[in-house]
A and B are shown apart, each in its own frame.
Chain A
Amino acid sequence: MGRTAVVTGASQGIGRATAVRLSRDPSIANLVLVARSADGLDATAAACATGIVAVHQLPYDLGDLDGIPALVAGIHERHGSIDVLLNIAGYAEPRSLLDTSAQNLVTTFTVNVFAMLVLTREVVRHMQGRPIKIVNIASTAGITSRPGWVAYAASKAAVVSLSQTLSEELAGTGVRIYTISPGRTATELRRKLAPEEDPNTIMQPDAVADVIAMLVGEGERTLDGQNIIVRQQI
């Protein structure tokens, strides 16, 4: 039986590229696309149309943490399992310290950290004792200083920490958690972080999607628990 994969942040960027990549993966039967933007999900689903996987769109705002248990339960009920969880949704509002509002901190951490944690908890709750692969997208901003991106960078550092902690906590249960820290990637989020940058000169989302696809492959058993840095090499 094919696996069910849930992709958050599927309306654009790395999420969309990953969805398209997995839509051709014969080990996947169902691809559940989650994002705020219904229009963006339509575009991603259209890009997946030539694939071999059943694609399901689920518009949802991950800022609503309280609704996540019902969201996960609904996916599980419909498809019978959630075997792959790809926490790709991200939020960034770069500001200097003195211009950073409390709301900016709350929104950034809610989408980038808390939603990821609640989704993971709910998926693990439903899949006790069965193999699951979870990939959490952090960033190189989470491991080095990024002046002006204090909320975003701190949230990504939290992603690295929570991923490594949960990987150990869930060791031996069949849950494998991977962290990917992409370097500069040509996404809408990156455009907010570095508006002066030419997106054609940096890594494209497809490159990150290829790494994610490799990690969620059923044969991958050695890289979980690690923070894997993905950078465009010259």
Chain B
Amino acid sequence: MTFGMVVLAGGIGRRIGRPFPKQFLLLGGKPLLVHVLEKARPIVELEQIVITCPEAHLEETRQLLENHGFDRRFRCIVGGGTRQESVYLGLKALEGVDSVVIHEAVRPLVTVDEFRALIASPDENAMYGIPISFTVLRGHEYVEGLLDRDELVNVQLPQKFDLPKLVAAHEAARAAGTSFTEDASLFVQHTGERVRILPGSERNVKITVPADFVMAEALYADVIGRGS
């Protein structure tokens, strides 16, 4: 079995007027993207690591890889206009691998062990997930219904898929014009196959809004032994 990886680094810095894309934000002094790639570096099973990034930041991302000494396993490509399109382009850029691990730059606190456990999982397709610890309801301006949180899962990355099957699922989604915010739902919807849920970690936070960054800084300080 051979493995490749797609790392999504497609932010363009639009949210709250950030002067540069989120993947370049410094957490503990290092760009978020570097945090992720450093976790992938020791995993020899990952034969190719493709980073999808905006065209306007392609050279900056390549420079980052060079500055931080990432070898030829790591390469950048231009992503698409949506997350789904970027994943598809990343999948198509992988050559000769059986399985793909998908991760994103905005989850910098992923661990090497989490990557290793995902790769070692006997399931062909797997993802990390954690229970929902808060109440969820349906509704917009008014409550329209209840949702049983025991039947829900907070989807995390990284995820792992059989590469040809995921490519086929993406092509089916493109043909059907359906869009998804992550790949497990796309995969299940368009293949009908099962995706194993591995127990994730509350610490593997996704940095979406500014408060997430504050939390990530505190978690990272704890990781490196500088927490208060």
| A191, B19: Cβ atoms closer than 8 Å | yes
Chain B residues within 8 Å of A, Cβ to Cβ:
16, 18-20, 25-26, 28-31, 34, 63-64, 67-69, 210, 213-214
| B19, A147: Cβ atoms closer than 8 Å | no
| A195, B31: Cβ atoms closer than 8 Å | no
Closest chain-B Cβ to A125's Cβ sits at a distance in Å of 39
Q: With A147-B26, A195-B18, A195-B20 as given contacts, are A96 and B210 in contact (CB-CB < 8 Å)?
A: no
Contacts of B34 in A (CB 8 A): 96
The complex places the Cα of A191 from the Cα of B34 at a distance, in Å, of 22
| A96, B19: Cβ atoms closer than 8 Å | no
Q: With A197-B210, A198-B210 as given contacts, are A147 and B28 in contact (CB-CB < 8 Å)?
A: yes
The answer to whether A196 has its CB under 8 Å from any CB of chain B is yes
> What string of 1s and 0s marks CB contacts (under 8 Å) between A97-108 and chain B?
111000000000
The answer to whether A130 has its CB under 8 Å from any CB of chain B is no
- A-B pairs with CB below 8 Å: how many? 42
| A98, B68: Cβ atoms closer than 8 Å | yes
* Given pairs A99-B63, A147-B30, 11 additional interface contacts (CB within 8 A): A96-B29, A96-B30, A96-B34, A99-B67, A146-B29, A148-B30, A191-B19, A195-B18, A195-B25, A196-B213, A198-B210
The complex places the Cα of A162 from the Cα of B210 at a distance, in Å, of 36
| A192, B19: Cβ atoms closer than 8 Å | yes
The complex places the Cα of A59 from the Cα of B188 at a distance, in Å, of 62
| A148, B67: Cβ atoms closer than 8 Å | no
Q: With A98-B68, A197-B210 as given contacts, are A148 and B19 in contact (CB-CB < 8 Å)?
A: no
Q: With A195-B18, A197-B210, A198-B210 as given contacts, are A148 and B68 in contact (CB-CB < 8 Å)?
A: no
Q: With A98-B67, A98-B68, A99-B67 as given contacts, are A196 and B28 in contact (CB-CB < 8 Å)?
A: no
Closest chain-A Cβ to B38's Cβ sits at a distance in Å of 11
Contacts of B28 in A (CB 8 A): 147-148
